[in-house]
Structure 1
Amino acid sequence: MPKSFSLSFIIIALTFVTGLTGFTIYKIFKQQKDNNQKPSFDNNTITTIDRFCSIPAYWLPLLEGLQNFGQQILPDYPFSLMSLYKKTLMPFVIVYVTHPNWAFIVFFILYYLFVRPKSPIPNRPFLRFNVIQAILLFLINSLLGATFRALPIEFRMSLYGLMLCNTLFWFVLLTITYSVIKSVQGKYAKIPVISQAVKIQIDNRN
Structure 2
Amino acid sequence: MINILPLWLIVTLTILTFALISFLAYKVYTYIAEFSGNESKQDITLLDRCSSILPYWLPLLEGLQNFGQQILPDYPFSLMSFYKKTFMPLVVFYVTHPELAFIVFFILYYLFVRTKSPIPDRPFIRFNVLQAMLLFLINSLLGATFRALPIEFRMSLYGLMLCNTLFWFVLSTIIYAVVKSIEGRYAKIPVISQAVRIQIDNYS
Range class of TM-score, shorter chain? 0.7 to 0.9
Of 120, 134, 138, the match for 1:122: 120
Residue equivalent to 2:110: 112
Residue equivalent to 2:46: 48
- The answer as to 2:199 corresponding to 1:205 is no
Query: How far apart, in 1, do the equivalents of 2:88 and 2:174 lie?
Result: 17
Of 173, 183, 186, the match for 1:185: 183
Query: How far apart, in 2, do the equivalents of 1:59 and 1:68 lie?
Result: 14
Query: How far apart, in 1, do the equivalents of 2:39 and 2:107 lie?
Result: 24
Gaps of 5+ in 2: 1-37
Query: How far apart, in 1, do the equivalents of 2:71 and 2:152 lie?
Result: 16
Query: How far apart, in 2, do the equivalents of 1:205 and 1:104 lie?
Result: 22
Query: How far apart, in 2, do the equivalents of 1:140 and 1:98 lie?
Result: 21
Q: How does 1:30-179 map to 2 (within 5 A)?
A: 42-179=40-177
Q: Offset of 1:73 from its aligned partner?
A: 0.1
Question: RMSD between aligned alpha carbons?
Answer: 1.1
Q: Offset of 1:41 from its aligned partner?
A: 5.4
How much identity, in percent, do the aligned residues show? 80
Which residue identity lines up with residue 146 of structure 2 in the other structure?
F
Q: Is the 1:182–1:188 contact (alpha carbons within 8 Å) kept by the matching residues of 2?
A: yes
Q: Is the 1:41–1:126 contact (alpha carbons within 8 Å) kept by the matching residues of 2?
A: no
Structure 1 residue runs of 4 or more that deviate by more than 3 Å after TM superposition = none
Which residue identity lines up with residue 180 of structure 1 in the other structure?
V
